Structure formats: C-alpha cells, structure tokens
Amino acid sequence: MPLIDRHIMYLSRRRKGKEEGRQIMIKIANLSKSYKGKIVVNDLSFSVEEKEAFALLGSNGAGKSTTIKMILGLVKADKGEIQVKDKKTIGYSPETPSFPSFLNGAEVLTYYAKLQNIPKPEIEETVERLMQTVGLEIDKTKVKFYSKGMLQRLALAQALLGDPDILLLDEPCAGLDAMGRIEMIELLKRLKKQGKTIIINSHILSDIEKVCDRGIVMNRGKLMRSWNQVDINEECTLEDIFTQTLGGAM
Amino acid sequence: MTIMMNALKERIRRKELYIVVVVAVIILALFGSDAATISVEGEAVIGFQSMFRVLHVVVNVTGCLLAMILSLPTIPTEYREKRSHLVWIRGISQVKYHTQLTAANIVSSALAVTILYLTLAFYAITQGAAGYLPAMLPGLLITYMGIAIVSLLISVLSICLPSFAVGLIGSICIVAGIGHGLLDSYKNIIGGFSGTLIKWILWIFPDLNGIQGQAANVIIGDGVDVHVLLKGLLTLYIISLGLLLFRKKEA
C-alpha cells in the first residue's frame, strides 16, 4: 500500500478515535528514576490512548521494564508524573513469571482470582475460560513442570483476570516457540479488537509490528523517538527504525 | 487468608521440615528409651519427671530451629522471585501481605512442634505416665508462644534485612533465649563489661527457656510463673509491631 494511503488511513483512524471520544488512558510526564546514581529512566514522557496497542522498544537496560514497574506502582519514580485514567483497571504479565510451584495452572489462576476478590461463584467459570483463551489445558500438571512458553501463557491468563481495561505485558512472547508466538500475536490482536488498551515491552520487533499501533524507542532511559504504523512500510520496517534510532546512540 | 493458606501449603511441602522432625523424633526416641542416657552435671537423669523436662528442652530447641529454618526464606523468596509483583498490583497492602506470610510461618512452625509433642506424649504413655496427657495441651500452647516469638522475629527482620543478617540474629536469639537462665547466673558472677553485655543480651533477647520451662511446669504440675508468660506475650506484641513499621521500598 502506498505510503500516502497508509498515512491517510492512520489519520482517519486517529480522527475516528477522537470522534469516538477516545481518551488518554495513561499519561507519563517527565518520569525519572535512578539506582545508586545510575540513571535508568530519564525525563520520559508519553501517553497511551484508549484501545490502542503501544510498544516500548529498546535494547537491554533501556529502562522499559522499570517504566512498566513505575506505572504499576512496583517501583517509585524519583521525579515525574504517572496518570492512569480514573477507575481503569490494569492487568500485568511479568517478563519472568514465577508462580507457587506446587499448584497447577488452574489453581494458580484461582489463587490470583481470590486475591483479586472475584466473587467465588464466578471463579471456576473465569478460570476455565481464561485457560482456554490462552491455550492451556486444565490438568493436574504442576507449574514447576511448565515450559517457559506455558508460563508466559499462564502469566497472560492471570493478567486477564477481572477483565482489566489496560494490559501491561512485559515480553509476552519470550520463550514461546514459533507456533506459540503466532498464537500469542493472534490472541493480542483479539484482545485489542475487544477494546483493551495494551502496552507491550518486547524485543521481538516483528511481533510488535503486527500488533502495535504506536510506540517509542528508548535508550539508556531516554526517549529516542516515537513511531507509528505510518512509519512502517515495505522499505522501512520497524527493525530499520529501531536500528536507525539506536545505531548512533548505542 | 488466601496468601496465608497458600504459603502454609508451600511450607508444609518443604523437606527440611520433615528431615529435622525425623531427626528430632529419633533423638527423643533414643533418650526416651533405655538405649541412651542423658547426664546433667555428671549425673544421669533418671525418673520420668526429670527425663521429661530434658526431652521438653530438646523439643523446644528443635522447634525454635525449625521455626527459623521455615521462616527465614519465606518473605525474601517472595520478593526475589517477584511473586510480590502479582500481589502488589492487586492492591494488597504490604502489611496484609507480610502478616499473612508471617502467619503461615508461625502456623507451620507450630505444626512441626505439635508433631514433636506427639512424640513426648508417646513417651509419657510408654513410661506409664498417661495421666500427664491432658496437661500437655496447655503445655503445647505455651510452647507455641516461644516458637511464635522466633518465627515472628525472623519474619519481621527478613522484611528489611538480608537473609544472612537475619539468620545470624535469629541464631543469637535462639542461643541467648535457650541459655537465658544460664546467662542470668553468669551475669552476676562475671561483672564488669562482660556482665553488662550479658545484661543487655538478656534484656534484648526473649527468655525462650523460661517460656518452655513454664510449659513443662504446667505438664508436670509445678507452679507456673505468670510473669514469664506475660513477658512472652508482650514480646510477641512488640515484635509484631514490626509488621506495621517495616516496609519494602519496591516490590
């Protein structure tokens, strides 16, 4: 598709979004964080709109995970502001999920469902549905015997508990095989279609390209550039944008 | 209660619990039978009551060690493995989270001590002293107090200190607590700086020996020093305040 058409499509989508009254779900302003004098996130600002999939890109140590943790309140920011739209719930899938090893998948979800105060009569149905959604079987296999990919799926399932408005996914495709990645991408597309706002932190640029509308590239805690789907075409992939941006900075 | 029940199930699955309990039961069985004898100050311990007191000390020491082994890794592991992330994001306060994990530590330690107490009960039956059994229940409850002090102290300290430091403080607490009576006697004999140091140790670390002594007294039918028990309860209360005061900066 010619670039101009893609640009028109993108603008019309944005306009449609604004007409629909699409609101800012997360707004980050001048966020900074340092550990023992080492700056991890440096004056970072961006916002994520309702129903969009937003990517945080960057090499290791760029500050992506720290940014996600600050949004979740797991890490305190030194400076700056994080605004999450009123009464919007957040689901989080960590990069390296660790669950109580003696439980099976369904029991893990039941455990987190109880922590989330999901009404008891709904728990069983919710767990069954989510296990099915992420492609895991309900059986007696303990999570200590789960592969990395199965743990990622389970992590996503627990993030979906309570049907949150916003999903923060830290490396959701890490450890998945090719088929698993395809399924995960399809699942994320479905979630986006359902109206979820998704923020993804991933190293797999081709996956990001398929799911995300917009994103930023970070390096050493700083925002290096923003990108959107218009910037991506046959001549310029997300990988090109990434290397062009970080080529001089790395 | 969800976090507590989950942590408790995990603690009960730990093999250290069973190893220490089995070793302690073997020791108790050995000394409870005629296969081995215990001497105190060169004299063999004979008679049910004397032997029971010695075995009760063994149960208490083992219980304290178990409380430390079971309680030490609980909270640090939650944070190291980042399970805390999925708890914090669900809006569960640190106080609630740490309190439930601590409760799991205390209950699992108490369960271990209960198993050891069953061995004591078995010993009483084999020695034809089944009449002491009803008094073993209040005795067990008093013993729980000492075990709870150790477990609570370790759990609270593990919120804010590295495991090595907590293990060290816990070990000192158990040694000083079990040897409280002995240290108290030495304090007056030694005097000077060492005497003052022992005085401070006695003041800081709870009298675990005193508490277990009251438990044994209840069972055997000797007088109980309520003051020691009240001090134990006060200690529990003071340490538990740490659950409110100590917070993790990050999950």
pLDDT, tens digit (0-9, with 9 covering 90-100), for B175-203: 999 988 888 888 778 878 888 888 888 88
In this model, does residue B2 exceed pLDDT 70?
yes
Domain end residue (candidates: A112, A146, A162): A162
B12 touches chain A (CB under 8 A): no
Q: Are B98 and B239 in contact (CB under 8 A)?
A: no
In this model, does residue A229 exceed pLDDT 70?
yes
Could you tell me the residue range of the domain that residue A131 belongs to? 97-162
In this model, does residue A19 exceed pLDDT 80?
no
Q: Which residue of A has its CA nearest to B74?
A: A100
Q: Are A91 and A168 in contact (CB under 8 A)?
A: yes
pTM of the model: 0.87
A78 touches chain B (CB under 8 A): no
Query: Quick one: average pLDDT of B85-110?
Result: 95
Statement to judge: residues A188 and A67 lie in one domain: yes
Contact check, Cβ <8 Å, B82/A96: yes
- Number of Cβ atoms within 10 Å of the Cβ of A167: 23
In this model, does residue A72 exceed pLDDT 90?
yes
B223-245 pLDDT, tens digit each: 889 999 999 999 999 999 999 99
Candidate from A168-182, A197-211, B42-56 with smallest mean pLDDT: B42-56
Domain end residue (candidates: A114, A139, A162): A162
Q: Which single residue is written with the structure tokens 């990069």? A: A95
B1 touches chain A (CB under 8 A): no
Statement to judge: residues A75 and A103 lie in one domain: no
In this model, does residue A186 exceed pLDDT 70?
yes
Contact check, Cβ <8 Å, A74/B3: no
Query: Quick one: average pLDDT of A69-85?
Result: 93
| Average pLDDT over all residues of chain A | 87
Q: Residue B89: which H helix or E strand, with range?
A: none
Contact check, Cβ <8 Å, B6/A74: no
Contact check, Cβ <8 Å, A90/B89: yes
Q: Could you give phi then psi for residue B194, rounded to 5 degrees?
A: -60, -40
Which residues does chain B have within 8 Å of residue A112's beta carbon, measured at their own beta carbons?
86, 90
Which residues does chain A have within 8 Å of residue B100's beta carbon, measured at their own beta carbons?
none
State the CATH number of the domain containing residue A59.
3.40.50.300
CA distance A186 to chain B (A): 25
HSE value, Cβ hemisphere, 13 Å, CA-based, for A16: 8
**Contacts of A99 by beta carbon, 8 Å cutoff, 6+ apart:** A108, A143, A151, A154, B83
Statement to judge: residues A157 and A193 lie in one domain: no
Statement to judge: residues A12 and A73 lie in one domain: yes
Question: Where would I find the H helices in chain A?
Answer: 3-19, 64-72, 105-115, 120-133, 148-159, 178-193, 205-211, 238-247
Residue A93: pLDDT band by 50, 70, 90 thresholds?
very high
Q: Which single residue is written with the structure tokens 């010695």? A: B54
Provide the domain count of chain A. 2
User: Which bin fits B43, alpha (ψ -120 to 50), beta or left (φ > 0)?
Assistant: beta
**Contacts of B219 by beta carbon, 8 Å cutoff, 6+ apart:** B52, B56, B132, B135, B136, B139
Q: What integer pLDDT is reported at residue B198 of this predicted model? A: 87
**What does DSSP assign to residue A42?**
E
Token digits of residue A145: 């015997």
Biggest distance spanned by C-alpha atoms of chain A:
56
Contact check, Cβ <8 Å, B251/A111: no
Domain end residue (candidates: A162, A178, A193): A162
Optimal mutation site among A93, A107, A110, A115, interface B, most CBs of chain B within 10 A: A115
Q: What percent of chain B clears pLDDT 90, i.e. is strictly above it?
A: 57
Which residues does chain A have within 8 Å of residue B83's beta carbon, measured at their own beta carbons?
98-100
Query: Quick one: average pLDDT of A89-107?
Result: 92
Statement to judge: residues A65 and A103 lie in one domain: no
Statement to judge: residues A82 and A179 lie in one domain: yes
Those of residues 70-89 in B touching chain A at CB distance below 8 A are 81-83, 85-89
Contact check, Cβ <8 Å, B251/A115: no
Q: Say which of B9, B92, B249 has its CB closest to residue A115.
A: B92
Statement to judge: residues A155 and A183 lie in one domain: no
Q: What integer pLDDT is reported at residue A85 of this predicted model? A: 87
Contact check, Cβ <8 Å, A115/B85: no
Which residues does chain B have within 8 Å of residue A90's beta carbon, measured at their own beta carbons?
89
B3 touches chain A (CB under 8 A): yes
Statement to judge: residues A158 and A43 lie in one domain: no
Statement to judge: residues A103 and A152 lie in one domain: yes
C-alpha closest to that of A141 among A175, A113, A111, A105: A105
Statement to judge: residues A194 and A102 lie in one domain: no
C-alpha closest to that of B235 among B161, B165, B173: B173
Statement to judge: residues A11 and A57 lie in one domain: yes
**Contacts of B205 by beta carbon, 8 Å cutoff, 6+ apart:** B172, B173, B176, B177, B180
**Contacts of B53 by beta carbon, 8 Å cutoff, 6+ apart:** B216, B220
- Name the residue with higher pLDDT: B116 or B147: B147
Which residues does chain B have within 8 Å of residue A100's beta carbon, measured at their own beta carbons?
6, 9-10, 83
Query: How buried is residue B180: exposed, middle or buried, by Cβ count under 10 Å (0-12/13-18/19+)?
Result: buried
Q: Which residue of B has its CA nearest to A162?
A: B90
Statement to judge: residues A126 and A52 lie in one domain: no
Q: Are A229 and A213 in contact (CB under 8 A)?
A: yes
**What does DSSP assign to residue B131?**
G
